[in-house]
Amino acid sequence: MLQMCLDDLNAKMEKKHGNSSTSTVRTIEGTQKVKKYRKRTESEKERRRQQKLQDQQNSKI
């Protein structure tokens, strides 16, 4: 049982670290390839920066 879980985890890890620029996404209609990397817009970058700052402040408390 445990070994099966470990194998499953390893398989997932291998998929994650593949350097392909598309990722297969399972949907109701079937599987489709979706591009992983898209350019972040400036507002998204800013939002991420704010989120990181908040996380840092929260971890200090």
What pLDDT digit, counting tens, does each position of 20-53 carry? 566 666 667 776 666 666 666 788 888 889 999 8
Positive or negative, the CA dihedral 32, 38, 41, 42 is positive
Look at residue 37 in the predicted model and tell me its pLDDT.
Answer: 63
**pTM to 2 decimal places:** 0.32
3-class state of residue 36 by DSSP? coil
Which amino acid makes up residue 37?
Y
> Is a pLDDT exceeding 70 seen at residue 56?
yes
Residue tagged 């489709």 (tokens): 32
- With bands split at pLDDT 50, 70 and 90, how would you rate the model's confidence at 15? low
